[in-house]
């Protein structure tokens, strides 16, 4: 299985939002992620900025102009 770790990167810190994500969906409101046997979780006002397939990491950052 290819499950990813979702990381929220801010100015000088990184926060693990979700371990073992199996689904990632881009929406107008942000990024919707879910892991097996868990309800989907919306990370509002973010965009995908980097995907590292080798290490299983997706980095998301706040959209410009969004709070």
Give the C-alpha separation, 3 to 33, whole Å: 11
Q: Is residue 65 one of the residues assigned to a domain?
A: no
Which of the residues in the chain have pLDDT under 50? 67
Predicted pLDDT of residue 1: 60
CB distance 8 to 57 below 8 Å: no
Q: Is residue 64 one of the residues assigned to a domain?
A: no
Q: Is residue 8 one of the residues assigned to a domain?
A: yes
SS3 53: coil
**Cβ density class 17-29: b for 16+ within 10 Å, e for less:** bbeebeebeeeee
Both structure tokens of 28: 């107008």
pTM, entire model: 0.86
Quick count: other Cβ atoms within 10 Å of Cβ 5?
Answer: 16
Predicted pLDDT of residue 66: 52
Number of domains the chain contains:
1
The domain in which residue 5 lies consists of 1-26+40-59
């Amino acid at each position: 299985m290819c499950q990813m770790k979702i990381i929220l990167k801010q100015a000088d810190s990184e926060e693990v939002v979700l371990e073992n994500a199996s689904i990632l969906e881009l929406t107008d409101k942000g990024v919707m992620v879910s892991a097996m046997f868990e309800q989907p979780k919306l990370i509002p006002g973010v965009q995908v900025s980097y995907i590292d397939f080798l290490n299983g990491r997706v980095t998301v950052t706040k959209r410009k102009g969004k709070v």
